[in-house]
Structures are given as C-alpha cells and as structure tokens.
Structure 1
Amino acid sequence: MTIYTTFGFWPAVLSTLLVLYASVMPSPLSLLRRLLSRAETTYHHSPNGTIKLRLKDQSEGTTRLVDFSKFVSNLLPSCNLNPILFNGHLQTIWTVAKPGDNVPIYYKRRIFDQEDQGYAGSFAVDFVVDPYDEAEARAKATAETSSLAEDGGERDTGLPPRTTYLADAEWKVLDQGDSESITPMLVVLHGLSGGSHEIYLRHVLYPLVYPSDSSPTRQKWEACVINSRGCAGSKITSNILYNARATWDVRQVVRWLKERYPKRPLFGVGFSLGANILTNYLGEEGSQCPLQAALIISSPFNLEAASLSLQSTFVGLNIYSRAMGSNMKKLIDRHSREITQNTKVDVEAVKKITYLHEFDREIQCPTWGYPTEGAYYRDASSTDSLLAIRIPFLCISALDDPVNILLFLSSSIWCFGQAV
C-alpha cells in the first residue's frame, strides 16, 4: 500500500526506546509502540469515479456491484511499521541486510524466442511449481532437455536458488495447455536488474501460490515471472537488451497464456521498473487488454523526474544511483560480447559507467536511437499510458521511498478504471 510516515527525529528515538523497553514490560507499552508505528495511508482515484466490480456472495449465491475505489479502501488493512525502521532508507537497507530467507518459491524455467524479429532474442520465463528436490530436478533437466535455446543450446549453470529448467516432457504438458482450466494466474515483472529470485517478489507470491489451510479462500494460484533479458542467470542472445518500455516480451507471454489457457483469468503484477513496463503494456493494449486486472508497486512513473531527484542529493546519487548503475554495468559485463555487437555502443565509455543515468546514456540511447537520456526517459515513462488503461488498475507507492521519488505525484494509492 502507499505509505506516508510522520516520524521525526525525537519520535523515532522515543519509539526505539519503547520497542526495547516493551520487550520486558507488559502490554500497555506494546500498545503505545503500535500507536507510534502507525503510518498514514491515503487513497486517490479518478474524480470521475472508478469501474464497478461484480462481487459474488458465496453464502447467498448472489452478486453485487461495488465501486473499485471503495473495494480497495475497505480491503486494505491499516499499516503498522516497525518503529525502529522509521524512514525509507532504513526500510530499504533492512530488506537487504536482514538474516534468513524463509520464503521459498520453486520455479521451472523455459526459454522463449521472441517472435517479433524487430526485437529479436530470447528471454527466460520462470513458472512457479510445487517444491522439489533441486539436485534431482537439475539432473533430470540436464538429461532430458534438448531444447534449451539460450546461447545455441548451452546450458546455464548460474541459475538462482530453487530454479531449474523444464524437462522436455514437462514443457510439452505445459505447452499443450488446458482449455478448461479456470485457475487464476499471475504474470509478474521484477525490478531493475532483478529477477524471479528477489525477496520482495517472493513475499507477494508465496501466500497465493502456496496457500495455507488458514488462507481466506484456500485458492491456489498459478504464476510465472518474466525475467528481463540477461537477468536472473539468463543469457542475452542478441544485441537487444531491455528498457523501461520493453513490452514486447510481456505481450508474447500473455498471448501464449491466453491461447493455451483461454478460460484462466490473468492478472499482472509489476515492481519498480517492471511496474513501469507493465503500465506501458496496459496502456498500449487499452480496451483489448487480455489481463483482468493489474497491480503495480513502487513504479517510477516519471523517469525523468525520478532520475533528476536521484541526482539532486548526495545519498540519491552516490548510494542509490551508484548501486543501480553498478548492477546494470555488471549485467553488461556478463554479456559484453552480445551488447557490443551494436556498433553504436561506445565500449570505452561503457567501461567508465558509474551511475544509472550514465548507463542509460551509454547503452539505452545508442541502442534505441535516443539523442539523450532525457529523451529516453520522457518516451519510456508510463505517465501518459495511465489514461489509456481500461482494466481495474491499482498502484501502490510509499511516499518516503528513497529510490521511487514521485515528484509529480501528490497521491499514495491510485485506483484507475473507466467509470460506468
């Protein structure tokens, strides 16, 4: 949900002391701690109203229409943050530094060849499956898989944990589809240089793909993650990388799913850069969009504003932009042979990349024909795509997110949809 925290310095110090003290004291202090950890959540939607959702009443067997914005505000719980993590910087650091990895999602991977030769290359799609023995599954995939298209059939051993390839027999079953399946399915896009292994993504997937007996509906969902080219241990097989409006791989996967599983309701989820890509896809599809609804989390929306914001502060430039630039440069280094096939890319300039905007200047601009990174940002931003979306669409953002600085937004949660 979109979060706005009101912590100042002394309230943060007080709340930290209370957290430590409450660990040995009775419940009143625990209550006070919860009050201090409460964050403000605000909702914004089209002033012309939002679409009506048709909800089923399982007990009475009836249906009723509910306004989308009211449905969201009634559904989301109050936001209670850890008072020790009193700003966006600490929350961001904690997601990286906290010990343990107790959200195991298991995947089987398939390599798709892009059908549109204007965007030639291959990309990896990870399908969520039931838990399996990793060593046994990898051995089976190696022995039985002859159709790995990556890098001329070369098998990539650098896959993320709990991920292996679909064996030929497994892929045959998946590719045949099921014309009667009505199981809901998520199509997920990760953030910049991330992948299906990212902890934030797995936290969202886990209760849906592995529901517990205590789940409200116990409805098991299917899900797949579309990895951006070169991410999550995949290989780049052409000189075409991906960018902030790289909707072509998403479009192919969604079309494939609708052809094989025509009765399945499909839902999109995007994080960060993947949220921007998904928003652009929804806008391009408009009223013909095959997805039933979509959720985006921490979208930059206005890439130019976000980039200028990062460059305007010491922390933004030298911590966040530097880290993201470093991650993208590592991706390029791993696939330098393919990327440098583009003669417009200045190899020496690429070696000097430090910040994210420098990566966009030296890689994205020559690859896609933009004169400057500003021109790229303005063209790839998803702000204009918002008005063309014609399905239920929920955006969740934190106003104190240090990376996703929404300069042009005054809202926290946006609910879009054509009014009826």
Structure 2
Amino acid sequence: MQVNWSTGGGQLTTTATTAPVHNNTARYVLILGGLSAFAPLSIDMYLPALPAMTTDLHSNPSTLQLTLAGFIVGLAIGQLVLGPLSDALGRRRPLLAGLAVYAVASALCAFAPTAELLVAARVLQAMGAAAGIVVARATVRDLYSGVAMTRFFSMLMLVNGLAPILAPALGGQILTLTSWRGVFLVLTGFGVLLLAVCALALPEPLPPEARRPARLVPTLRTYRGLLADRRFLGYALASGLLFGAIFAYIAGSPFALQEVYGLSPQQYSVVFGVNSLGLVLLGQLNGRIVGRLAGERTLLRTGLLLATAGGAGVVVTAAAGAPMLGVLVPLFVVISSIGMVMPNASSLALAEHGHHAGAASALLGVLQFVVGGLAAPLVGLAGGGSAVPMGAVMAAFAVAALVAFATLTRSGPAAEKTA
C-alpha cells in the first residue's frame, strides 16, 4: 500500500487510506531505532573479543583498532553517497540495498583469515550500515518538526541505548559458546532480519513530489551550502566531537578495564552496559523536559558540560591511581551525556534542512563518525598501561565540542527560545 506523508507543526498526517502514523509510534521507534542501532551493534558487540582477536589473528592492538577506524571510514563514504540518493530515489530503495550489503559483509567478517582482510570487510559492512543510519535520521525529519522531532529523537535513544547495553553483554555470552567469529554471524542474522522487517513494515516516507534529482554538481553544491551554514556546522561538530570522546572510550576501555584493572570479558560487558543505561535514562529525561522545562540549546549545552566534566574526571582519577570505581564514575557521566547531546544536536542541525534531509543527515553522520574515528587510534598511539590516555582524549574532544557549540551557534533565528 502506497503511503503519502506530510508534516505540519510536528503532527503527522496520511492519506485517508491509511491509519495515522502517530497510532504506530512504537513500531516506528523500534524500526528506526533498529536502523540507527547498526553502528553501536556493529562496534560494541565484538569489543570484549578484541584482546582474543589479537592473538587469534596474530596481530597487535593497534591493527585490531583499525577495525574500528575502517568501520568509521565505511560509514562516512556510505552516508555521503546514500544520503543524496535517498533524497532522489526515496528512502526505501537505498535502505534495502544497504541492508543486503551489510548482511553479506558481516558474513565476510566472520570468515576473515587475517586482520587486514577483516579491516577490509568491516569497511564494506559499514557502507551497508550507513544506509540504515542516514535513512533513519532523514525519515524522522520527513515525519516530524520542531520539539516533536527532538522528542522522537529522544525516544530513539531508548533503542539506541539498549543496543550498546545488550551488544557487549551478548558478545560476552557468545564468546562463552564460540569464538569472535560467532559474533559476526549474529550480526549477519540481524542484518537479514532487519532487511525483512523493513521490506514488509516500513512504508516510503518521502513522496515523489518532494524528491530531488541525484546529480553530482547540485549534490556537491548542497554539501557546500551545509558546510557554509554556521549553525548547522556548529551543531554537527558539537555532536561529532563528542562522538570522538565516545569512540576514545570504545577503543580504549577494553584494554584499560580488562588489562589495567583486571576485568574479565563478561565483567567488562556489565560495566559497558551500566554506562549505556545512563545514556538511555538521560535520553528519556531529555524527551520529557524539552520544550517544557528547557529548550534544545539549553539541554545541549548542559550535556556538553557534563561530558567535559566527566572527561576531566577520568584523567584526574586515573592519573592519581584511584581505585577502579573512581574511574568508572566519571566514565558513566561522559557516556550518559550522549543521551542529552545527540537528540538536541540532531534536531537543531536538521531543523532548517527538511528539503534535503538525506544530504543533511549524511553530513551530520559523517562529521560524527569521521571525527569520532580520529579518536580511536589516538588512544592506541598514546600508549597502554593506564586509563590516562583514554581519559585525556575523551576530555580533549569534549572540550572541543563545547567550544564548537559556543562559537558557531550562539546567534541567529535557529537559536531556540529557551537559551
């Protein structure tokens, strides 16, 4: 059944042949949340196995951390291509093609004989995953506007937060039954399942009259215009630089917490899940108070300040040789802050770009994951044997995110009502 959608003041309407979308909010949260969960699932599920993979593939931690960086590169390339394509072809066709690529690439990861081939397969896997990420965010912009969009992004944090909670724990349990290769076989199954669900249950949210031709020069011009928009760039950099802090944690915490503080893979999974629970809770709190007690900019600023304080706390406690709990508390603060930063930054960045939401979503995602990907190897280059390098990179990226927000978004009509 063909569905035509329109938006108005954050309210969803459809043709008379369908039920209103707001009656199916839970279904859309689950499907779009599942699509945007590709990154945390694909990254976090195999984290507990990184030390074992180093031995199994006769490699070293720096090379294995390239599986994270390679994934980020693939996400960047995939989003830049698939975002404008989804503006031209509609959201469904690029999405379904990307999900098929993801499933095949995940199987290739499972059978990779060397670390180098695993890195290559991860790049391909990420290019498929990019379709889910960019289409999910663009679809939210197709359907919602204003505070309603921010609240829906906050609801997505419930699913996005559950993914990193469940992924390392699931990965740790899979490792008790099989090797790291089994983790990638599970990801293959996830890709196949979501491909079937989207093919059957996700209608096209972008009507033909709202689509834009996919031509190279206009697409490049669109990207140039987005980069020239100071407010868009400020919100995108704020979220992207904070992603740098998060990826420093993702890359460094398996080694810092398991090798420095002696956690087992299963114990590490529990700690990772507790941190992600903070992300979920703060995201849901954000959705409840935005537009009521505070506006998007105020909440975004608050989240960035929490991340900065938490990153500094990791450095201080780790350098002082504090017990593990002293490091875990500020880590919890940093990871929780993402639940407040991401919904507000995404909503504010996309607010004025509904007519090319796919391209704007792509560039927003690229800035997040590319900047975030730079942080992963920095942790390894800084050396091991302590949580200080991880904390220093996290703190530096959090401070940079706060500076980008403060300098690039402080004025203009997009500044929201509650400053």
Give TM-score scaled by structure 1 length.
Answer: 0.25
Compare relative contact order (CA 8 Å, sep 6+) and give the higher one, 1 or 2: 2
Largest Rg, 1 or 2: 1
Structure 1 or 2: larger strand share? 1
Structure 1 or 2: larger helix share? 2
